[in-house]
Structure 1
Amino acid sequence: MANKSGKSHDFTFKLLLIGDKAVGKTSIMYRFSDDKFNPSWLATIGIDFKIRTIELNGNTIKLQIWDTAGQERFDTITAQYYRGAMGIMLVYDVTCQQSFDHIAKWLRRIEDHAAEDVVTMLVGNKCDADMRDRAVSKSRGSAMAAQHSISFIETSAKVGINVEKAFYDLATAILTMVPVDVDMNKNRVMVESLQRKHAVRAKCCR
């Protein structure tokens, strides 16, 4: 359905999912894009990609969602996808202490490869797990996010807890960075300019 300007959407936001392997990045992406969950997803090889268009604050926004491989051997492939990203979900597994311990490593990669003003969200996935299986409490995740001045949410791709909210909250935060104007064509130019700025900054800082 086209908007008043005749376009199918007002804005395009590039989002990136990063984090250790097996934390559920692919499951989060597919739960949001297709409302599906498969406990047997194969490990992402390099990069995967989905699109979903949402309505937010009267705007039609196309979300380009990039799912990156968590294995170190794919670092050189996935690093280029930080360029131009407007939002990043840094995902860890609440049942895996190691994935939480590696958050600092992933934050350094964001600093090295992404734009300075990229919107980052820390996501603790698999929050449906039995409390006996938890390795990271919600309060520890929240404290880690506060320490780095980023937002935080716990999700479960398996049962769909907070997955929609995570993407909508991230898109909302990005949208607040875009000047609101009655002229949607002008707004689109502003967003495209913001995306180019992100790409240039990321390239310069590599």
Structure 2
Amino acid sequence: MVKLAAKCILAGDPTVGKTALAQIFRSDGAHFQKSYTLTTGVDLVVKTVPVPDTGDSVELFIFDSAGKELFSEMLDKLWESPNALCLVYDVTSEQSFNNCSKWLEKVRSLAPGSSLPGVLVGNKTDLAGRRAVESAQARAWALGQGLECFETSVKEMENYEAPFHCLAKQFLHLYREKVDAFHSLL
């Protein structure tokens, strides 16, 4: 039985639902706030995620950070050496989706040369009538970037756990690959 710890960066534009996603995940769906204040730095959410069929778990240290450029210098320090990435956009905002490439580039620049497990999460699917980003478009972009793709409605508590379970599984897989590579050297 292995218990690992992973630093997970939660990135995306302001108001896409990063904080709501982190909070609802931490509370197992028991806590959805109707209103949030804009995150002005970084909130830390810690949760242990069991990886099915392994007996192993990954403790995710989720850094929920401000989406404003104003805080970008501070983020560079806090985001150093990430182990996983959860990139969030709002399905009703094409701009928030387009900015995902900027966020991805920023996080990857802080982990050069390393394999960084990651997911793309389209939030606010409950606003179907206002959808601006199609699922297929997001999946195609995510696939091209080596990311898994999910859609969720934090408000409706739909699929909010799946991205984090995926990240835990990816991180454990990467860890095992490194251990196997190390053992092959002995």
**Matched residues in 2 for 1:86 and 1:99: separation?**
23
5+ residue gaps in structure 1?
4-8, 181-186, 191-206
Q: 1:166 is matched by which residue type in structure 2?
A: P
Q: 1:54 is matched by which residue type in structure 2?
A: V
TM-score normalized with structure 2 length: 0.87
SS of the residue corresponding to residue 174 of structure 2 reads coil
RMSD, aligned CA: 1.9
Is 1:143 aligned to 2:140, yes or no? yes
CA deviation after TM superposition for structure 1 residue 168, in Å = 0.3
Q: 2:4 is matched by which residue type in structure 1?
A: F
Alignment: residue pair count: 175
Matches within 5 A, 1:1-206: 10-34=3-27, 35=29, 36-56=31-51, 57-115=54-112, 116-130=114-128, 132-179=129-176
**Matched residues in 1 for 2:105 and 2:161: separation?**
27
Taking every aligned residue pair, what percent have the same amino acid on both sides? 33
Runs of 4+ off more than 2 Å: none
CA deviation after TM superposition for structure 1 residue 98, in Å = 0.9
5+ residue gaps in structure 2?
none
Structure 1 residues 74 and 159: alpha-carbon distance in aligned structure 2, compared to 1, 3 A threshold: same
SS of the residue corresponding to residue 103 of structure 2 reads helix
SS of the residue corresponding to residue 9 of structure 2 reads strand
SS of the residue corresponding to residue 173 of structure 1 reads helix
- Alpha carbons 1:47, 1:68 under 8 Å: kept: yes
Structure 1 residues 111 and 53: alpha-carbon distance in aligned structure 2, compared to 1, 3 A threshold: closer
SS of the residue corresponding to residue 92 of structure 1 reads strand
CA deviation after TM superposition for structure 1 residue 147, in Å = 2.0
